[in-house]
Every structure is written in structure tokens, then in C-alpha cells.
Homo-oligomer: A and B are copies of this chain.
């Protein structure tokens, strides 16, 4: 399971978006009818997506990391302590797809992305992202620079 490629998809006047076949094929075989969208925890204007399975697994790792083994009972009772998994959940929505792979984009995400008639879907290995197409172009240009620098600094075995 690995999300790849960037695909520009129409947002039609009924608010529907198609999850491209390339992404649908990466959803678990036994849970193809729905997936999860959630606000990026630290970048505004970015919405992340994953399979329900993938999202839940991430929450679980998060809690294990943040709270230790006895965390589950504490997190169930303590409403004061900060719970990163709870935070992400609040910003997440389960999205059901029609048989043809389309879904209606919740208004909150349309606003967050500030998109009007197209959404850029970007594969990020174990998750994917939704971007405003123009913003993604800018981001992508910036990342190209960083990637080049990263490769340059890989100081391989060669002199």
C-alpha cells in the first residue's frame, strides 16, 4: 500500500470529487467504500487522506507513543490532558464513496483548501494530501530545491 502520483481532479458544482482509481486501488480490499479526510495538524490549507485502517493505526501509534502502555484508561477518563489522537479525530471525517469512486467534499474541507473547481491529490506514500492546485505548484517548486540540496548532501562513499 503506497499512494503515489499527483492528480488534478474536478470539484463539480454539486461539490463532488473523484478519488482517482490509482488511490482507490490502494485502499484495503475489504474496506473500499470509505476513507478518512482530516485537517493537517500543522499546515493550514492542507487536508490529509488515508484509509480508515491507516488512520486508525496512526492514532494508535500516536497514543502508544504519547501515553505509554497504560495510556488507554487514562485517555478515556482524563479530559484535561492533551490527547493528540483526540485532536486529530476531531478534525477528521469518515467519507463514504459512491460505487463509482466519487464523494461529496464536506464544506469545511472546501473552505480549508480554498478550492473552487479543482483539487490536487498528491500521493505521500502511506497517506495522500489534498491541495489547492496553485498552492501545490508553489509548494512543489520549493520542495524541488530542498530535494536537490538533500541529494547533494548525501555525501556518498565517493570523494
Contacts and interface: CB of A to CB of B under 8 A. Distances in A.
Copies in the complex: 2
A30 interface: no
Interface stretch (A11-19, A41-49, A110-118): A41-49
A93 to B, nearest CB: 5
A2 B5 CA distance: 25
B4 A46 contact: no
A88 B76 CA distance: 12
Interface of A: 2-6, 22, 36, 38, 40-43, 46, 48, 56, 58-59, 61-62, 65-66, 72-73, 76-80, 82-94, 122-127, 129, 140, 143-144, 146-148, 150-152
Nearest to A125: B89
A5 B125 contact: no
A111 to B, nearest CB: 14
Contact of A4 (B93, B123, B129): B93
A79 B40 contact: yes
14 contacts: A2-B59, A2-B89, A4-B90, A5-B89, A5-B92, A6-B91, A41-B78, A41-B148, A42-B152, A46-B79, A59-B125, A62-B73, A87-B146, A89-B125
